Structure 1
Amino acid sequence: MSSPQNHGYRLALCLMATGTFAIGTDAFIVAGVLSEISDSFSTSASQTGQLITIFGLSYMVFAPLSAWLMGNLNRKNILQIALLLFILGNMMCAFATSYFVVSAGRVLAALGAASFTPQAAAAAAQLVPENRKGIAISVVYGGMTLAIALGIPLGTFLAQFIGWREIFLMIAVLGGISFFGLTLLLQDFAPPGKHSLQERLAPLRQKAVLTTLLVTFFAVCSEHIVYSYVSVLLQDTVLAGNAILPVALLIFGVGAVIGNFISGVMTDTLGSKFVLLVAVTIQTLSLFLLSFNLTSPWSVIGIFLVWGITGWMYLVPIQHHLLSLSERFGALTVSLNSSVLYAGIAAGGMMGGVSLYLWPVEYLPLLSLPLGIAAILIAVRYFHEEQPVYES
């Protein structure tokens, strides 16, 4: 156990949250600066949007792979390696001379992100007493929420003045702050332990787990068809003579904070299935209505607020449900959700790119409708409230 448990553990948690803030901003910032990157490399919006797909697919593959490969390493060393990879990937993006180099940088950054986030949450839980583990983990993942609320809209806004390359450079600097701080502050942890890939994927053989993960996939995919190309979708929408994109992303982030805050309480009081169905249904309807309101800035702001709230509500009941299933099908059940989440992000970016190639940008929100309906139907048919099964 490291010394911050008794002395500077709060600073260590803040440094881990700084890392997840950088990762959260990096994962989605391309959506806010897509047009600027397209102009730099003379690529289409459809092709540039695939940088989101590349990050998502890489994260999906590397999350279980890196945990398997580095399971016998000291957890502090894993955090250091992960942050170095993340920093290097973003430096490659910042100084890229071609689309290929940016793509390679996104792969490297995703490898670092997939290795850092789960290990940081686990390390945070080791730094504090038993009765404060939940708070410690929430601080680490709070960096992600803060990235959605502030990092992405702020990065999108700043890119108008300093350029998209400088945004990636700033993300790398945040990663560097986390790296040097944790290197100085943390002592060694015990290795997390190694599970084979077969063990990690074993819960997929259970129907209850597989159908729950399918809900995650379709719900995430339905919104990221739109979110990945939001800068293209809103390029002609203005408010008081200014581009609405930074404001819309900020409102979305505010909604995300609200949704993340209320979803836990609602899940505990109303049940995971009810909260899931309400959140996905309202999100699907909101995205569908967006197609018909792109010329109305106030309608866009209202839709983005509702979308932000509901888009960050449905993940909590899904995670809650998987936790109950993990009592029966193994602790690794929950870890699969992160990989599936990024698979949905990747698929949404890919499908949105194909849509932009074939149809006008206004069709993007319409395409989210069948995917959202699929998530709702699977949840209605297969999502059953589970009570944890404890060993006697």
Structure 2
Amino acid sequence: MPPPPPPSTAGLRPAAVLALGTFAVGTDAFVTAGFLPAMADALHVSTAAAGQSVSLFAAVYALVSPLLAVATARLPRRTLLLGALLLLTAANALSALAPTYEVLLAGRVLAALGAAAFTPTAGATAAALARADSRGRALAVVIGGLTVATALGVPLGQLAAVGLGWRAALGAVAVLSALGALAIHLTLPQLPGTEPVPLRSRVAALRRPGVLAVLPLTALGMAACYVPYSYSVPVLAAVGVSGRVAVPVALALYGAGAVAGNLLAGRWTDRIGPVRVLTVGYAAMAVSFAALAALAAGQLRSHVAVGVLAFLWGASSWCQTPAQQHRLLTAAPEQASLVVSLNSSAIYLGIGAGTALGGLALPSGAAAVFALAAVLACGAAGCLRATAVRGRASATST
């Protein structure tokens, strides 16, 4: 990767362009939650089965991301980023036109390949172009594309499913991906590729204490978020939020929280450190899920309370990524591209696992779904404490 620019904001400008691409990727990944029941009805499958298309996307992403990083290492970065978004465009067009559930799954596999090629490359490029003291902010800007997608993509997807149908919503994602490719083509400078990192070296990186301590936490924390997220329409209905207006508003509040949590986490990670940011995030996550479980199990209904909790849910979910990536880059600064790609795989492993667990818990009711998410959030807090202590001990010994 090219050396960091001289002291200026130059490193954040490419990050903003790359964020448009991650917005397209994020919209593709998250928009399904807004119309999952409608898609399930159209394809004659259960809501839980339709939700497994999210798990398939996540599993393919996690498995192929390291392989694609090796296979595409020598490609110029702009060429790789363009190709990934064009593949995402074609995949969403196929999903929008899918006549059967099986064709939809094929489209999700192709979309996962495009996302797996784009997101790690975008994150590593932004980190390389940013100054050391603004790396957290650059990562937050790129990941901000994903969080803005949760703020806009999911509620708009739900509105599109009601007004135009879920196929039109996926067609809009295809157009958005094409626009992201055009923006990168017009604005991102030519960047050289790198020497490929063999899979053997990637496995060796996993054995480094600093890396090994962080990646399982990424997967666990994202699993906690996605136990209820992919089934947000039915679980929100269980706490009294349903209809053409209330559901998009609740999802928009979740997305607004996600944007705020991500941006604040990037700034505060640079100021107070990632462990403190994550500690607050996991505590807030556990509290919000426990409160939603109580609302789902009881008779009390309050749109205001659900709105506040949805905002807290989004903020605590997406405060994780800048802090976790910062921990990895500190642990292995000479392998920035490698550890960012491994973290992306861990994110999508968590998304797939959380969606699968949520599908298993859904027949037991929304309270069970939220309670399971709260338990996983508490587990993430315990894992953070253990890995932070281990990391301090390792640093002292060296």
TM over 0.5: yes
Distance change >3 Å, CA 74–CA 135, structure 1 → 2: same
Measured after TM superposition, the shift of residue 123 of structure 1 is 4.8
* SS in structure 2 of the partner of residue 234 of structure 1: helix
Question: How many positions carry a matched residue from both structures?
Answer: 384
* SS in structure 1 of the partner of residue 217 of structure 2: helix
- Distance in 2, matches of 1:291 and 1:265, equals 31
Distance change >3 Å, CA 103–CA 324, structure 1 → 2: same
Counterpart residue number, 1:301 = 307
Counterpart residue number, 2:358 = 352
* Map 1:2-81 → 2, pairs under 5 A: 16-81=18-83
Measured after TM superposition, the shift of residue 309 of structure 1 is 1.7
Counterpart residue number, 2:382 = 377
Measured after TM superposition, the shift of residue 117 of structure 1 is 2.0
Counterpart residue number, 1:106 = 108
Deviations along 1:10-52, one digit per CA (max 9) or x if unpaired, are: 9976653332111111111111111110110121111011111
* SS in structure 2 of the partner of residue 157 of structure 1: helix
Measured after TM superposition, the shift of residue 109 of structure 1 is 0.6
- Distance in 1, matches of 2:279 and 2:136, equals 26
Larger mean Cα displacement after TM superposition, 293-302 or 135-144: 135-144
Deviations along 1:102-138, one digit per CA (max 9) or x if unpaired, are: 1111110111011112323455578899998877665
* Map 1:325-336 → 2, pairs under 5 A: 325-327=331-333, 332-336=338-342
Q: Is the 8 A contact 2:12 2:126 kept in 1?
A: no
* SS in structure 1 of the partner of residue 35 of structure 2: helix
Counterpart residue number, 1:324 = 330
* Map 1:305-316 → 2, pairs under 5 A: 305-316=311-322
* Map 1:105-124 → 2, pairs under 5 A: 105-123=107-125
* SS in structure 2 of the partner of residue 383 of structure 1: helix
- What are structure 1's unaligned runs of at least 5 residues? none
* AA of the residue aligned to 1:102: L
Distance change >3 Å, CA 15–CA 171, structure 1 → 2: farther
Deviations along 1:307-347, one digit per CA (max 9) or x if unpaired, are: 12222223333222222211498763343111111100000
- Distance in 2, matches of 1:200 and 1:146, equals 31
Deviations along 1:353-385, one digit per CA (max 9) or x if unpaired, are: 12224x223310111233222212222222136
- Distance in 2, matches of 1:133 and 1:225, equals 30
- Distance in 1, matches of 2:23 and 2:352, equals 20
Deviations along 1:255-279, one digit per CA (max 9) or x if unpaired, are: 1122122223433443332221221
Corresponding residue to 2:346 among 337, 340, 352: 340
Measured after TM superposition, the shift of residue 94 of structure 1 is 0.3
* Map 1:174-213 → 2, pairs under 5 A: 174-183=176-185, 188-213=190-215
TM-score norm. by structure 1 comes to 0.87
Counterpart residue number, 2:266 = 264
Distance change >3 Å, CA 11–CA 98, structure 1 → 2: farther
Corresponding residue to 1:232 among 208, 211, 234: 234
Give the root-mean-square deviation of aligned CA atoms: 3.1
* AA of the residue aligned to 1:299: A
TM-score norm. by structure 2 comes to 0.86
- What are structure 2's unaligned runs of at least 5 residues? none
- Distance in 2, matches of 1:364 and 1:239, equals 16
- Distance in 1, matches of 2:129 and 2:335, equals 28
- Distance in 2, matches of 1:263 and 1:192, equals 30
- Distance in 1, matches of 2:134 and 2:317, equals 27
Deviations along 1:203-250, one digit per CA (max 9) or x if unpaired, are: 211344223222212111112101111111123555697552211111
- Distance in 1, matches of 2:242 and 2:370, equals 25
Q: Is the 8 A contact 1:12 1:182 kept in 2?
A: no
- Distance in 1, matches of 2:242 and 2:110, equals 40
Measured after TM superposition, the shift of residue 54 of structure 1 is 1.0
* AA of the residue aligned to 2:204: A
Q: Is the 8 A contact 1:327 1:388 kept in 2?
A: no
Larger mean Cα displacement after TM superposition, 141-150 or 380-389: 380-389
Q: Is the 8 A contact 1:211 1:382 kept in 2?
A: yes
